């Protein structure tokens, strides 16, 4: 018994090793994470080596309160090509905790993967040695923030980590009559394939809106947005039949100073596959145990084991066949002391024989 | 220390190899019993090899499942193929475990009678088939193609039951398993 428990214990430990003490080379998907993994990349940060990759960071747009700016990064270096997979963080300090833009009162409006996350995962395409990512963010309070871009990647069986130099951004109050986006404006970040998209823009102190848009890697096109009244504007993004990213920005004109917004990403993609993992695990285990029980039940029913066992169990038959039909005559008309009638039926004749031999 | 992805490749190769061997031996055993193959030695050889291969495959299967979950990109079930892999492998695992325990606890008697022998060989072959389907789904996921593509299997579709139905299935399975094991352990031939 103790040996079986030990074997079971070893098996459990081995299973745990593969699932809990390893890194996640396949990544964990985009999300909102603090630096130094936050569960995103490696099990033990002390194993990290410094990445030789070069990280450049650029800020685009005027950092007015409630107005979006864009932060873009290009990560390059031959070391990246070892694994191909890359995780990129946008951070507001390097302490390793409470360092997301939200912690510094910045809201992420969009990221280059079509979400609103500070941690993005990507893959270097074959033959390339650089990777680009960008975020559109807006400040919600007057503050000064230093932004960093941090990266995680693999290679040579070693996890690598790198962080850019800081880029300080001071949030300014909004000048009078500045043509601007509404503080409530949140850009649409994704859209389905094969459909034209009506993109709405909420503004303040704006009299006209020009839209400049481009597909990644091609030249830009300009169009005039239609007014919907009440400081609302709209333009049509053409349909895309392939997963792709349209980048667009608005040139806002009004009575006050004009303003150009940062580039926003509009990602055309297949709807992501989502499934309730708990339901999957429960159904998997239910299928296992149900099939297991069903197959065993059928085998038990069909099994001839019980009948075979009964073929060997013939005690009743033997007793019936040899049961004495008549008891020997009682000596003196009564049972000898200490005997029962059943004993007398079986062994009485032996008693009488011994009695006769003793008399002779 | 090797990565879960490499560990997954190793364990799946063990699982697929073991189950393929077991499935083939179950098939040969059935053919021998129906005298389509006339060899008395083959009956006991295929019986032994099939069940030992099944045992080896069963030992390797949990490692393959857990390392597969660890090495999958994203948060685990990022595509329907991975969900189907989980369902197929767990169903195959259940059938294989039932076949092995039947043989272990009920002894030769389940192979003596043709009906129970058929159930046993069917369980073993079905378990092998499900494991090979799982491997095929894995091939479709990683390489975009597999040998079974000729059947155009719908790996992109999943049949996900509501949690309530799954729970009922789980409870009924647990109840029947407990009852059967109670009886089997009471009349073990070992």
Q: What is the CATH number of the domain that holds A263?
A: 2.60.40.10
Rounded Cα distance, B133 and B124, in Å: 14
Whether residue A114 is predicted with pLDDT greater than 70 in this model: the reply is: yes
Report the residue count for chain A.
Answer: 360
pLDDT of residue A97: 78
Report the residue count for chain B.
Answer: 190
Q: Residue written as tokens 């892999």?
A: B85
pLDDT of residue A19: 47
More confident residue, A91 or A360: A91
Q: Distance from A206 to chain B by nearest Cα, in Å?
A: 42
Q: How many domains does chain B have?
A: 2
More confident residue, A41 or B150: B150
Q: Which domain covers residue B175, as residue numbers? A: 160-190
In this prediction, residues B17-38 reach a mean pLDDT of: 91
Q: Which residues pair with A250 in a beta bridge?
A: A211
Q: Residue A300 and residue B90: Cβ atoms within 8 Å? A: no
- How many helices, marked H, and strands, marked E, lie in chain A? 5, 20
pLDDT classification of B170: cutoffs 50, 70, 90: very high
Q: A105 in the Ramachandran plot: left (φ > 0), alpha (ψ -120 to 50) or beta?
A: left
Whether residue A355 is predicted with pLDDT greater than 50 in this model: the reply is: yes
pLDDT classification of B96: cutoffs 50, 70, 90: very high
Do A167 and A47 fall within a single domain? yes
Looking at the partner chain, which of A157, A276, A284 has a beta carbon nearest the beta carbon of B90? A284
Residue B106: how many other CB atoms lie within 10 Å: 24
Do B93 and B114 fall within a single domain? yes
User: Exposed, middle or buried, B57 (CB in 10 Å: 0-12/13-18/19+)?
Assistant: buried
pLDDT classification of A257: cutoffs 50, 70, 90: confident
Do A205 and A261 fall within a single domain? yes
pLDDT of residue A38: 44
On whether the CB atoms of residues A226 and A201 are closer than 8 A, the answer is no
- Sheet hosting strand A106-111, strand order edge to edge: A54-60, A69-76, A130-139, A106-111
pTM across the whole model: 0.57
pLDDT of residue A21: 44
Do A213 and A190 fall within a single domain? yes
Residue B81 sits at the vertex; the CA angle it makes with B76 and B82, to the nearest 5 degrees, is: 25
More confident residue, B69 or A93: A93
Residues A125-152 have pLDDT tens digits of 767 778 888 899 999 999 899 999 988 8
Any alpha helices (H) in chain A, and if so which ranges? 2-20, 277-302, 305-312, 315-322, 341-359
Interface A:B, Cβ pairs < 8 A? 182
Looking at the partner chain, which of A26, A280, A298 has a beta carbon nearest the beta carbon of B73? A26
pLDDT classification of B187: cutoffs 50, 70, 90: low
The encoded tokens of residue A127 equal: 């033959």
On whether the CB atoms of residues A107 and A78 are closer than 8 A, the answer is no
In this prediction, residues B16-43 reach a mean pLDDT of: 90
Residues A84-98 have pLDDT tens digits of 778 889 999 888 778
Do B134 and B170 fall within a single domain? no
Q: Residue B78 and residue A273: Cβ atoms within 8 Å? A: yes
Looking at the partner chain, which of B79, B86, B175 has a beta carbon nearest the beta carbon of A273? B79
Looking at the partner chain, which of A26, A279, A308 has a beta carbon nearest the beta carbon of B71? A26
pLDDT of residue B190: 47
Q: Residue A305 and residue B95: Cβ atoms within 8 Å? A: no
Q: Distance from B166 to chain A by nearest Cα, in Å?
A: 5
Chain B residues near residue A303 by CB distance under 8 angstroms: 102, 106, 109-110, 113, 116
More confident residue, A80 or B140: B140
pLDDT of residue A312: 59
Which helix or strand (DSSP H or E) is residue A202 part of?
strand A197-204
Looking at the partner chain, which of A25, A276, A302 has a beta carbon nearest the beta carbon of B71? A25
Tell me how far CA of residue B161 lies from CA of A196, A286, B86, B166, in angstroms. 35, 11, 14, 6
Chain B residues near residue A275 by CB distance under 8 angstroms: 77, 80, 83, 158, 160
A307: in domain:
no
A143: in domain:
yes
Which value does ipTM take for this structure?
A: 0.91
The encoded tokens of residue B83 equal: 């969900």
pLDDT of residue A24: 59
Q: Which residues pair with A132 in a beta bridge?
A: A74
Residues A321-343 have pLDDT tens digits of 666 667 888 887 888 888 888 88
Rounded Cα distance, A237 and A233, in Å: 13
Domain boundary among A263, A285, A307: A285
Do A61 and A205 fall within a single domain? no
Find which of A15, A29, A286 to mutate to test the B interface (most B CBs within 10 Å of its CB): A286
Q: Which domain covers residue A340, as residue numbers? A: 322-355
């Amino acid at each position: 018994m103790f040996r079986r428990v030990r074997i079971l214990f070893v098996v459990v430990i081995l299973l745990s090793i593969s699932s809990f003490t390893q890194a996640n080379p396949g990544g964990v998907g985009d999300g909102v994470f603090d630096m130094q993994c936050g569960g995103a990349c490696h099990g033990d940060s002390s194993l990290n080596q410094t990445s030789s990759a070069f990280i450049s960071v650029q800020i685009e747009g005027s950092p007015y309160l409630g107005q979006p700016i864009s932060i873009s990064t290009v990560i390059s270096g031959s070391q990246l090509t070892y694994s191909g997979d890359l995780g990129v963080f946008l951070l507001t300090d390097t302490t390793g905790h409470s360092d997301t833009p939200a912690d510094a009162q910045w809201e992420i409006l969009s990221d280059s993967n079509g979400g609103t996350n500070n941690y993005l995962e990507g893959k270097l395409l074959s033959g390339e040695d650089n990777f680009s990512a960008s975020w559109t963010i807006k400040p919600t309070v007057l503050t000064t923030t230093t932004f960093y871009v941090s990266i995680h990647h693999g290679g040579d069986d070693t996890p690598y980590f790198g962080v850019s130099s800081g880029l300080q951004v001071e949030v300014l109050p909004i000048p009078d009559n500045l043509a601007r986006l509404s503080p409530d404006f949140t850009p649409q970040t994704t859209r389905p394939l094969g459909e034209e998209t009506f993109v709405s823009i909420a503004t303040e102190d704006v009299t006209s809106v020009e839209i400049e848009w481009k597909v990644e890697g091609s030249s830009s096109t300009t169009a005039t947005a239609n007014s919907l009244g009440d400081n609302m504007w709209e333009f049509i993004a053409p349909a895309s039949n392939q997963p792709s990213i349209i980048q667009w920005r608005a040139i806002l004109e009004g009575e006050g100073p004009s303003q150009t917004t940062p580039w926003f990403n509009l990602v055309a993609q297949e709807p992501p596959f989502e499934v309730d993992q708990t339901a999957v695990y429960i159904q998997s285990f239910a299928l296992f145990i149900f099939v297991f029980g069903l197959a065993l039940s059928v085998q038990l029913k069909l099994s001839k084991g019980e009948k075979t066992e009964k073929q060997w169990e013939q005690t009743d038959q033997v007793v019936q066949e040899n049961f004495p039909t008549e008891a020997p005559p009682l000596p003196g008309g009564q049972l000898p002391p200490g005997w029962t009638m059943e004993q007398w039926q079986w062994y009485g004749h032996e008693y009488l024989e011994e009695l006769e031999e003793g008399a002779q | 220390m090797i990565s879960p992805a490499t560990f997954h490749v190793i364990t799946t190769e063990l699982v697929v190899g073991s189950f393929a061997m077991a499935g083939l031996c179950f098939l040969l055993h059935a053919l021998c019993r129906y005298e389509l193959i006339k060899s008395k030695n083959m009956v006991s050889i295929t019986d032994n090899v099939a069940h030992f291969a099944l045992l080896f495959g069963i030992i390797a299967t949990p490692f393959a499942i857990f390392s597969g979950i660890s090495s999958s990109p994203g948060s685990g079930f990022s595509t329907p193929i991975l969900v189907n892999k989980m369902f197929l492998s767990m169903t195959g695992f259940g059938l294989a475990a039932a076949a092995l325990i039947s043989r272990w606890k009920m002894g030769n008697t389940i192979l003596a009678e043709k009906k129970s022998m058929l159930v046993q060989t069917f369980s073993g072959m079905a378990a092998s088939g499900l494991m090979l389907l799982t491997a095929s789904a894995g091939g479709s996921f990683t390489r975009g193609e597999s040998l079974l593509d000729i059947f155009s299997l719908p790996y992109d579709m999943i049949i996900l039951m509501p949690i309530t139905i799954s729970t009922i299935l789980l409870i009924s399975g647990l109840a029947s398993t407990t009852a059967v094991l109670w009886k089997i352990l009471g009349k073990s031939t070992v």
